[in-house]
Amino acid sequence: MSVENLKAYIESGVLELYVLGDLSPEETLQVEEMASQNSEVKDEIVAIEQAMEQYAMQNAIEPSADVETRLFEKLGIIGEDEITNVTPQPVYSEEPRIVRLDSSNGNIRTLRFALVACVALLVISTAALFITYNKLNDAHDQIASLNLDKQKFAGVVSQLEYQNSGLDNMVAMADSKEWATIRMAGQAISPKSKMNVYWNKKDKSVLINYVAMDLPKADEAHEYQLWALVNGKPVSLGMFGKSDSTAKEAIVKMQTIQEAQAFAVTLEPMGGSVNPTMEKLTVMGGV
């Protein structure tokens, strides 16, 4: 652009309008382009700006103090210091604070998660404990009933063993030629009673078998006494318990007798008697 044209451009007043912000965007761009290409235009703009600035300074009016207060409250800027050399320190002192807040937030978050996890574990544990406790109770009940069953069963088994051993013995004695079986029949006080006595012909030993007897139940104060009749005289062969005795062995060995014509059982007071009480003669049988 020629010097004349440049002068005319400057004098057209467009630069003043530019500084006053009174141009369209297109015109503004044109001025800016002119200013970047021509230092005269640029200088003129600066001079206009400085004039307007000084003009404004000359016509300055002090606003009330609370405008400043409200402004900095609104922007969230605190602190009275308006000198910028304070600037770097807040920047540095704020940053670690932010980091600390972050980390403490993180810690709180972690702790919160941990707390939730703990509560959840507690609930699960309690539930599991409750279920286990119930199952344990059930198991206790089962064990108790099984124990009862076992005891009953053991009772039955021992009863069977007891009877079995007695029966085995009876069979063995019946087969053997050594043993004589004396069958004693019920007498006046107990006609239905019966009992066997086994007498060894060789060593003269006498056995009775609880399985092979059917005597009335003796009371607490009495027990049975086995007698052998030797030449018309009763000889005691020993005492034995009630017919349903809980003795462990079904077979009981009595006293040996060399010879006898008959065997008899009487009910005697505990400990036995020297002579049989004939009124209490329960069973008797001859050899």
Partner 1 sequence: MTALKKLTLTEPELVLALQSKDPAVLKTLYSMYSSALYGVISRIIVHTELAEDVLQETFVKIWQSASYYDNTKGRLFTWMMNIARNLSIDKLRSKDFKNSLKNQDIENNVSFVDEQNKVTFNPDVLGVKQLVENLKPDLQAVLDLVYYKGYTHVEAAEKLNLPLGTVKTRIRLAIIELRRSFN
- Residue ranges in contact with partner 1 by CB under 8 A: 11-14, 16-17, 19-22, 32, 36, 45-64, 67-68, 70-72, 74-75, 77, 79-88, 90-91
CA gap 14, 10 in Å, rounded: 7
Choose between 2 and 58: whose C-beta lies nearer to partner 1.
Answer: 58
Choose between 17 and 167: whose C-beta lies nearer to partner 1.
Answer: 17
Q: How far is the CB of 32 from partner 1 (least distance, A)?
A: 6
CA gap 13, 267 in Å, rounded: 157
Residue keyed to tokens 């021509």: 38
What stretches of the chain adopt beta strand conformation (E)? 179-186, 194-200, 206-214, 222-230, 233-240, 251-254, 262-269, 281-286
Q: How far is the CB of 75 from partner 1 (least distance, A)?
A: 6
CA gap 287, 238 in Å, rounded: 18
Q: How far is the CB of 58 from partner 1 (least distance, A)?
A: 6
Q: How far is the CB of 84 from partner 1 (least distance, A)?
A: 5
Q: How far is the CB of 4 from partner 1 (least distance, A)?
A: 18
Choose between 71 and 114: whose C-beta lies nearer to partner 1.
Answer: 71
Residue keyed to tokens 């009763």: 234
Choose between 98 and 188: whose C-beta lies nearer to partner 1.
Answer: 98
Choose between 9 and 227: whose C-beta lies nearer to partner 1.
Answer: 9
Q: Which residues contact 192 (CB under 8 A, 6 or more apart)?
A: 186, 214
